[in-house]
Amino acid sequence: MGNLVKTIHSCLTDMEIEAYQRDGYLLIRNALNSDEISDLKKAVAAQISSLNDTTTGYDFESLANQLWSGSDEIKAGNADRFELELYKHLAESDPDARALRDIPNAPIEGDNPMFFYDAAGWRKYKEIRGVAFDSKLPSICANLMDSSYLNFWEDTTFVKTPNTPQRTAFHQDLTYFQIKGGKCCIVWIPLDPVKKNTGAMQYIRGSHLWKTQFAPNLFITQTPMLDAQDPKLPDIELNPDAYDIVTIDANPGDIIIHDVMTIHGSGGNMSNDQTRRAMSFRYCGDDIRYYDRPGAIPQPYITDHLEDGEPLYSKDYPLVWPKPTPDMKIAPLFKNDYLVE
């Protein structure tokens, strides 16, 4: 079936597939069109404007300020995906925990910087569903992972406004997700031109082949999440020259796909006037099974309870590949029955 998928929808060359297998990431230029990028920008603007009203939206810059300023509490409005008070205690007792800012001495209170994070936007925004389910992306990912089918796991939004020196700490995605298996990839989608000084993505080339699982962190420091059972990542930020770190400039339309085991992070946005908006789509292939992993981030809006070892046969994880007919759109099938509007 994998070969059939490739024959019918082959969009990638053998060299691209080999590069992905060797490096653990692949940059593809012009994979999305301008209408698709506009749709995602529209959805991201709506997510940002509802930051304080949702259970999924965070400003990590504000969390970092609260973590490092010594305040007793750490608050994130209505957002409830992370146990922040407990995480604060963990970070305080972690001798290596520190602010990860690309301008080390930047004032903690900057010029209204924001590192916005949100997730599961597909449940609310048809614009995200349209691109995640009905663009070229599912066929590219099925081709890349040689998978006979694909479930959509989640979308995530990462925005760094001008003068936000907060890095995205190096991390590995697998341990954030309630899954086991190898065929999972993440499509990173810039919505603005991104360069090293505005928060370009950084990948440790070949790190998926280390075959080591590392504990998830909260992106603003490397302290592992509560209950995480895998070891903490080495301190890559302290010792970058010891790693083969590749920093990738990208433009809207381009995508960077990485393997779920590839270690990656991103820089701060040091520009005065350019916002850095990006989304990530996460696709699971045919060897992925549900696994209620300790330390993984709780999935929002879940309606079906899966048991460990079950395939992702659930409307919580839409089947986005293959399509019954090549031109069929999947996004319109998802209406109001369980979408959060």
Q: Parallel, antiparallel, or unpaired for β 289-290 and 255-259?
A: unpaired
Query: Least distance from C-beta 314 to ligand AKG, angstroms?
Result: 22
Amino acid letter, 327:
D
Q: How many residues bind ligand AKG (CB under 6 A)?
A: 10
Which is nearer to ligand AKG, 6 or 164 (by Cβ)? Answer: 164
Residue 283 in contact with ligand AKG, rule: CB under 6 A? no
Residue 188 in contact with ligand AKG, rule: CB under 6 A? yes
Query: Least distance from C-beta 156 to ligand AKG, angstroms?
Result: 6
Which is nearer to ligand AKG, 188 or 321 (by Cβ)? Answer: 188
Q: Determine which residue in the list 198, 224, 280, 331 makes contact with ligand AKG, applying CB under 6 A.
A: 280
Q: Parallel, antiparallel, or unpaired for β 245-248 and 179-180?
A: unpaired
Residue 278 in contact with ligand AKG, rule: CB under 6 A? yes
Q: How far apart are CA 110 and CA 165, in angstroms?
A: 9
Residue 266 in contact with ligand AKG, rule: CB under 6 A? yes
* Angle, helices 126-134/137-145, rounded to nearest 10 degrees: 40
Residue 172 in contact with ligand AKG, rule: CB under 6 A? no
Residue 134 in contact with ligand AKG, rule: CB under 6 A? no
Residue 203 in contact with ligand AKG, rule: CB under 6 A? no
CB 279 within 8 A of CB 254: no
Residue 161 in contact with ligand AKG, rule: CB under 6 A? no
Query: Least distance from C-beta 138 to ligand AKG, angstroms?
Result: 17
Residue 186 in contact with ligand AKG, rule: CB under 6 A? yes
Query: Least distance from C-beta 265 to ligand AKG, angstroms?
Result: 7
Residue 127 in contact with ligand AKG, rule: CB under 6 A? no
List, in sequence order, every residue forming a beta bridge with 315; answer none if it has no partner.
none
Which is nearer to ligand AKG, 139 or 262 (by Cβ)? Answer: 262
Residue 173 in contact with ligand AKG, rule: CB under 6 A? yes
Query: Least distance from C-beta 118 to ligand AKG, angstroms?
Result: 12
* SS3 assignment for the chain: CHHHHHHHHCCCCHHHHHHHHHHCEEEECCCCCHHHHHHHHHHHHHHHHCHHHCCCCEEHHHHHHHHHCCCCCCCCCCCCCCCHHHHHHHHHCCCCCCCCECCCCCCCCCCCCCEEEEECHHHCCHHHHHHHHHCCHHHHHHHHHCCCCEEEEEEEEEEECCCECECEEEECCHHHCCEECCCEEEEEEECCCECHHHCCEEEECCHHHHCCCCCCECCCCCCECCCCCCCCCCCCCCCHHHCCEEEECECECEEEEEECCCCEEECCECCCCCCEEEEEEEEECCCCEECCCCCCCCCCCCCCCCCCCCCCCCCCCCEEECCCCCCCCCHHHCCCCCCCC
Q: Determine which residue in the list 20, 158, 177, 317 makes contact with ligand AKG, applying CB under 6 A.
A: 158
Query: Least distance from C-beta 332 to ligand AKG, angstroms?
Result: 26
Which is nearer to ligand AKG, 74 or 255 (by Cβ)? Answer: 255
Which is nearer to ligand AKG, 5 or 281 (by Cβ)? Answer: 281
Query: Least distance from C-beta 267 to ligand AKG, angstroms?
Result: 8
x/- map, 59-98, ligand AKG, by CB under 6 A: ----------------------------------------
Residue 316 in contact with ligand AKG, rule: CB under 6 A? no
List interacting residues with ligand AKG (CB under 6 A).
156, 158, 168, 173, 186, 188, 264, 266, 278, 280
